[in-house]
Structure 1
Amino acid sequence: MARIGNKKKQRFVKPIKVKKQSEVDHVTGEKIPKSFVFSRGKLPGPLKQLQMDLRKLMLPYTALNLKEKKRNNLKDYLNVAGPMGVTHFLMLSKTETAPYLRVARTPQGPTLTFKIQEYSLAVEIAQSQLRPRCPKDLFKNPPLIVLSGFGTGDQHLKLATIMFQNIFPAIDINTVKLSTCQRIVLLNYNKDTKLIDFRHYSIRLQPVGVTRRLRKFVQNHQVPDLRSLQDVSDFVTKAGYGSESEADDEAATVTLASDLGRVNQASTKSAVKLQEIGPRLTLQLIKVEEGLCSGGIIFNEYGGEKKQDNKSDKKKAQEVASSEDEDEDMNEDESEGQEVDDED
């Protein structure tokens, strides 16, 4: 009788499905903007941390763990940007006088160069707060964008407005889910100082007229400690930690159109709370170039506005603005997102 050899049982390994990132917003139908945040030249320790803070701010449509090498040049990043659908570059650099941030649209520009007058890292913002807030899903969706003071009519400020609007995904305000609106980026331009205040906040809603104790009880579903109370009604009527008067301010309240979590219910008033999470920047726009870190100079803070005596030069500047203006349908709110695959 022939012997039957022992065959090893082959274990079935379920293949890992790699979730492909969407290139087009399912709500607006527009191409989702994606970004690379990297350095040009050697950066000191604090600026390296600022670079990581900016990458985190640009989540989820950025390469959080993008690896940089000394031999990498701008052309290398540009070659990778095309296949990955990257639309914007944020480049940090440092000279002997000051650090700089360049924001460019790929592949043909324009490029805006900002001088960083002051900055604070996210960890420094958290250390200055009594109760820092950073939920686990805070960076799951892109931030909203709000611009203030940019409507002066100047050509370079118009380009800056369009650039910042297009760097984040658009949303449809009629169908957006409130649960996706968890962060906001505020940019305020001061025409007197010519400085831009860049702030990054988390958004939190609190029901009006409900004490902190009750909110914690509803959210956590934990049995409260009633040993120090005479009656269960004391738990309801006794004020929680902190002032509740701030939540009753009519100017800071909104009426929700849909339920948001266990506490904030539809058709009820909730107070909007903003808590800074950083980084914090004070920027000065010093130069605008037509191309990607090259080309004609549309604006130079130290050399004054480029004179548009020649009609062809003026037309060229307007073409740069109009090419960026094609995506200007963006609102100050943002849509859901997913992280770009990191590239070596």
Structure 2
Amino acid sequence: MARFRNKKRKDFVKPVVKKQQPSVDHITGDKIPKSFVFSRGKMPGSLRQLQMDLRKLMLPYTALKLKEKKRNNLKDYLNVAGPMGVTHFLILSKTETAPYLRVARTPQGPTLTFKVHEYSLAVDIAQSQLRPRCPQDLFKNAPLIVLSGFGTGEQHLKLTTIMFQNIFPAIDINTVKLSSCQRIVLLNYNKETKLIDFRHYSIRLQPVGVSRRIRKFVQNHQVPDLRRLQDVSDFVTKAGYGSESEMDDEAATVSLPSDLGRVNRASTKSAVKLQEIGPRMTLQLIKIEEGLCSGGVIFSEYGNGDEKSKQDAREENNEEEEEEEMEET
């Protein structure tokens, strides 16, 4: 008599296919810039957190979970950048005197080197606010870029403007969706101090003349507690909430061409409000190189006889040379 073999049934598991990000904008036809944010050398914990904040800022076209190893050098990142379509590097480093941020265009440069005078992490900014705001879908779209004070006609400022404009995807004002404009990166150049204020904000629209209590009710679809009220009008005009309606300043309001959410309707006025989400930095442009972290120097702040800046540059170059020698050995 034949024997029947009991075979274990194996459930078919469909392979997980990761959705790849587009490399070309389907509207403008331009190549979408992508970035790597990493560090060189030993970094304290606060700068490591700043690195993660910058990665989050550059979403969605960046490697949020980019793995770094001590033996990785610049060539390793460059070899991976080509097949992945990465166009820019943001490199953090630290010397004995100050941290530095380099913004480079791959694969042939140029490279802009900034000295970080001051910085604040995103968590610090959130803790300083009464109502921090960071919704889940805030980082699904790239931020807008706004540059202020760079139109002085100087060559190094023109290069800085071009670099930061190209590091984020371009937008078409005729076809862009308002729902995708949720963040903004602001760079303000001070001519007197030669410092750049780097800020990162979230954008939100609120209908003018509507109290916060009514706005939350419409957005959340929650049934209000009316047990202690005599009339529904008491819910609308309750003391402490009517004063929270948005300002009616004409300079701070816009008329929407289309509906945006449940409370901001087309052809109605809405107040534009910016809320800082971080990180925050104060930068100084000290050097522009032709190549990728190498090559001829197009601009140098060291030419003004600032001995302290020269010393910082020598320390940074010495540390990089020591790292390269250790990597080779």
**How is 1:13-162 mapped onto 2 (pairs within 5 angstroms)?**
13-162=13-162
Q: Distance in 1 between matches of 2:121 and 2:101?
A: 15
Counterpart in the other structure of 1:201: 201
Please say if residues 121 and 279 of structure 1, whose CA atoms lie closer than 8 Å, have aligned partners that are also in contact. yes
Q: Deviations over 1:14-57 (max 9, x none)?
A: 23222122111111111110000011111111111111111110
Distance in 2 (alpha carbons) for counterparts of 1:30 and 1:276: 29
Amino acid at match of 1:27: I
Hey, what does 1:238 align to over in structure 2?
238
Encode CA deviations 1:152-171: one digit per residue, 9 max, x unaligned. Answer: 00000000000000000111
Q: TM-score, normalised by structure 2?
A: 0.89
| Aligned equivalents of 1:20, 1:298: Cα separation in 2 | 37
Structure 1 residues 174-185: aligned runs within 5 Å: 174-185=174-185
Distance 1:103 1:272, change over 3 A: same
**Secondary structure in 2 matching 1:164:** helix
In the TM superposition, residue 240 of structure 1 has moved relative to its aligned partner by 5.2
Aligned length: 305
Q: Which amino acid aligns with 1:150?
A: F
Contact conserved, 1:206 with 1:271, CA < 8 A, in 2?
yes
Report the CA distance between 1:239 and its aligned residue.
5.3
Determine the C-alpha separation between the residues in 1 that align with 2:243 and 2:38. 43
Alignment-derived partner of residue 270 in structure 1: 270
1:38 counterpart letter in structure 2: F
- Indicate the SS of the match to 1:123: helix
Q: Structure 1 length as normaliser, TM-score?
A: 0.86
1:187 aligns with 2:184: no
Q: How many angstroms apart in 2 are the aligned matches of 1:105 and 1:239?
A: 56
Deviates more, 1:259-268 or 1:10-19: 10-19
1:284 aligned residue: 284
The Cα shift of 1:192 comes to 0.9
State the Cα deviation string for residues 71-95 of structure 1 (Å, max 9, x = none).
1111111011001100000001111
- Residue 197 (structure 1) shift: 0.5
* Structure 2 counterpart of 1:222: 222
Amino acid at match of 2:161: T
1:247 counterpart SS class: coil
Deviation at 1:6, TM superposition (A): 3.2
Cα RMSD for the two superposed structures: 1.5
Q: CA deviation at 1:251?
A: 1.1
Distance 1:189 1:242, change over 3 A: farther
Instruction: Classify the secondary structure of the residue corresponding to 2:284.
Output: strand
Is the 8 Å Cα contact of residues 210 and 246 (structure 2) preserved in structure 1? no
Aligned-pair identity (%): 87
Give the stretch that moved more between structures: 19-28 or 125-134.
19-28
Is residue 288–residue 297 contact of structure 1 (8 Å, CA) maintained in 2? yes
Deviation at 1:229, TM superposition (A): 1.7
- Shift in Å, 1:105: 0.2
* Cα contact 1:211–1:240 (8 A) shared by 2: no
Task: Label 1:243 to 1:237 Cα distance change in 2 as closer, same or farther (>3 A).
Answer: closer
Unaligned runs of 5+ in 2: 306-329
Q: Which amino acid in the other structure matches residue 277 of structure 1?
A: I
- Higher RCO (C-alpha under 8 Å, 6+ residues apart): 1
Structure 1 residue 235 displacement after superposition: 1.0
* Cα distance, 1:228 vs structure 2: 2.5
Contact conserved, 1:212 with 1:239, CA < 8 A, in 2? no
Q: What is the Cα deviation at residue 242 of structure 1?
A: 8.1
Name whichever of 10-19 and 219-228 sits farther off: 10-19
* Greater helix share, structure number: 2
The CA deviation at 1:227 is: 2.2
The SS at the match of 2:101 is: strand
Note if contact 2:208-2:246 (Cα within 8 Å) is conserved in structure 1.
Answer: no
Unaligned 5+ segments in structure 1 are: 306-344
Displacement of 1:255 after TM fit?
A: 0.5
